[in-house]
Structure 1
Amino acid sequence: MIWNVFFQAQTNNTEKNNPEKRTYKELEDEFYKALPGDTNNSKSIASSYLKKAKSENNTTQIAEGYVMLHFDEDLPNALKYLDSLQHITQNSKENTYPARIYLLRGNLYFRNDNLQSALNNYILGLKYAKEKGNKRQIAMAHISIAYLNNYIGKHEETAKVLRHYAYDADYMNETEINSLKLNLADAYIEINKMDSAYALIQEGLQGSKKSKDVYRYYQNLGLLGYYHLHSKNYQKAIDGLLECEKYFFTNNSGSKRNQHYTLLYLGKSYAGLQEKEKSVDFFRKIDSMVLKTNYIYPELRDVYTYLIDYYKENGDKEKQLYYVDRFLKVDQVLDTQFRYISRELPRRYDTPELQQEKEDITNELTKRKSLFYIVLSLLLISHLLFINVYFKYKKSEKNYKKIAQDLIQSVNEKRVVKNKEPEAGQEIHPVENTENSEDKTSRTVSEDIAQTILKELEIFESKDQFLNKGITLGSLAKKIKTNSKYLSEIINTYKGKNFATYLNDLRIDYAISRLATDRKFRSYKIPFIAEELGYNNEQAFTLAFKKRTGTPLSIYLKEIENMSSN
């Protein structure tokens, strides 16, 4: 069953009396919110809309007027309005045409149960929508064709399409999404996904209450009746469906589709309770409506077979023969439609869609293949780079180990200190004993002062005062009773390095020796060792160690342990 969604018009009497003074938007809103069956009001609004558009020579709005007018006309007149629409839009640059015309014709034929013509127009609408790249129209065509699939029993395929457009298409508006969910719930019932169907129906009931959308509420209530019928909760189904009957048959507030299916579900529910007379009453009402409207749908077979069996049991051959004749006529129409849709849908829709899907998949696979080779090439390059880095690291690691081993060996052999004490009476000469440095020193610092500062530095080194935290050039100069300039020049000249390097080298040389000889000291955590050596943090210590020795601290410690255990 396919449900239609409309909204009740809410306008004041003053506006209704002067429709042509209102905007196109106001007229459209009132028209599309009108209830099904309220044809007089709808036609009046549509006529005023078209009159206003023609008086203003507004081609776009004239087209909209033809669209609005065709809804409440019989098939021949409605087709004339759509022909007028086609004529006035034949040179339109909008990407909605001509697809819109074919989709509207398809809907018109669908409402009039000419499913063959409906399918033909949907296929054309889809073709032109794809040519113009109009994704909304493509969606409408797919959805309409999905309803035809539902008609021939392909409920799984119907549910798949409706689910996609209800949840994954951000270009569908709220009204369209509500309609999709209503029909999706119906498809779920057909494929026995009852929990999913129930959740959607409850969502529809609550949403319609919140928005005060009475028509939508009764549509969902009718579908809830079908849910209970399918679940064999016949009395629950009847309770809700009787409310729907009262609403849909009052003041033309329901479409013929709603009216037919409400009676159908009531008849089947009473049949489930074995209340045959009540069931027959509803089924006879349906037959009477079919005779008036010629509205034919697949479930009518159930209606007529039930009536035939009922009158056969009661020995009423005249009525039995009548309903046999009715059944044969209806069945012939259904069979013709079913055979046409069953044959043409796969040929004209499923196959082209599959071919397009195949092409899309092929293109996607080609892209993936290209991407695969790109990724593979990148992985290969990365792997080669990794191997290169790995072997460089291994080579570096080997060098690091050799340096560490040499340092440990040197400590074990000499228990070295940074600067040797000179023999008694021997003068200390600068490391860089160049002519320029001597001339520079002699000009700035006298030999007596230089010797005094150097002796103070010997004390500074021998007593491990360089381990104190926060030592600066200024603080050390003050301590040894000289100035920063003299101290800096003596260290640069006699030690061959600046103050910062001098201090770092003393600390690291101390660390090299003590770590190699003091098991307890090297058992401490690195941050503690760094603090003991006068560094502010672990990182400063490890960087200074690597710079001074040429090997990382971690490898030096590891080699100490390795050599100690051998």
Structure 2
Amino acid sequence: MPSKIYCFHSFKFSVIYKQMLFLFVFLASGVIHSQNEETDQLIDKSYEEIKQFYLNVSEDSIALKEKIAAAYIAKAKKNNDSVNIARGYYYFSTMYGEPELGVAYADTIVQYTKNLQHKNFPATGYFLRGYWHNEVGEYRKALSDYLKGDSIAEQRGNKQQQSYNYRVIAILKDRAGSHSEALVMYKKILDSMETIKYEKNFDNADYLSIIYNTSNVYIKLKKNDSAKIYSRKGRTESIRIEDSSFYYNFVFLEGVIAYFSGREKKAFEGLETSLPHIDDYSKAIAYYYMGEIFKKQGREQNAFRYFKKTDSIAKSIDFSFTELRDAYEHIITYYEEKENFDQQLKYINKTLEIDSALSQSKELKLDLVKKYDTPLLLKKKQKAIDELSRKNKFGNTAIAGLVIVAVVLILLVFYFRLKQKIQKKNFEELLNNTETSKKVVEAKNSVHNIPPEVYKTISLNLEKFEKNNGFVKNLTLAELAKKLDTNTSYLSKVINEKEGKNFSQYLKTLRINYMVERLKTNKKTRSYTIKAIAKEAGFGTAQSFSKAFHQETGIYPSYFIKKLNDN
């Protein structure tokens, strides 16, 4: 799966699109039946009755939902009813919160309905598949599916599908590099939203996201004055609706605009101000531009330090973006000048990897000839390997490099065969360990600039916080600092000293450790959906929980639960 490619914040269409897809798939009418009916009798019920039974079952009763969905499909297959077969597979596609399964079931929906002349199908199958591709950052595939679905919706005269899909295609066009086309669409969406923004149920977050994307696309088109107009509009609207989190997203954006306008001092101030309030994706970008400012000032050591921060964050969240390649070029040159060929080779390989990731998206058209384009990098890589070989009097380094390359190639060839074996091993290790991972960091009684008694108090309060499972709640660094009666600077330093992690990584590890133990000891919890488990662990979405679980344990939660149940 490719790393996610940066496109600033996009408006939150996941929930909206799921609701829209359900509306396309089913008509909301019918009688609600008792959940105590035997599922083996459902096949004799009407489709509407089976649907209502499914909707009334608790989200956590995954096994029962599977039986009901299977009954729906069995009835449809018995009647040779392709539309209702597709509707049954829609249940399975959205039941688990797993993108891989979602794509597979969406494929099935398309196959069953591709030759139909139905108002909603097969367009809904393409939309659903596009949704899942988007969730894992496969934007080119997502855009292709949305455009196919939109074309079919237009042919069938389905205006509702087209209207909802218009926003999604605007974002994906932006991600695919078609910025001028995306701009026209964003402005058309904004014009329609301006007329209803004071209505009671208006989605303000949606509105701010479109303003953000409009400003961002102007940056990409090198129209900084227009970008500034929309970023200021976004800040003003954030104040009006009292959305402080989005306010600082616009402060961050204005820092980027100031950089491209040649106002480095203002850019640095804006980026630095936004840092405590923005997510890790934006932080990685902010540190990159702060590094570029130092580079322009000739302060190479400072630039190197900020580029390394960018690399560290990007690595921790599996995040690739075009500017990261520029940061790697600077790091490569730095290590080359220091004759640190091990590190130079490491970052040359990283650059080659990012080239591969970036090349998978139309969005990432590199508009300049890079100093370290792929052929040159391959030559530099060989030169670095040769230099390492020359310095090593026994010549073992070059041999080891060739062995590593051979091993990597073998691993790639047998990847799918080994995957199951690796997952099983990770499961067994996880089953036998009391915690998924705990970085051993030397304990200290104080940290630079923190009084010893304050350090001790914060440490004790953190232990109570962990013991009481306070981390499962939606919590920011500022909110936890307030609860512990300290400030964010002290709290962040203590966490970093004690755990060797930043605040976000600290919370993620606590939550995964907590849920691993729950799943191992509580059979009922294992019957919940991934979405419900994610929510209980403190994650916002099933996808973010699954990704975090995999990063911490090496396996996905669905596999872990299945193996626990098998045991």
Bigger RCO (CA 8 Å, 6+ sep): 2
Q: TM-score range by the shorter chain?
A: 0.3 to 0.5
If each structure's helix is expressed as a fraction of its own residues, which one has the higher value? 1
TM-score (normalised: structure 1): 0.43
Task: Provide TM-score, normalisation by structure 2.
Answer: 0.43
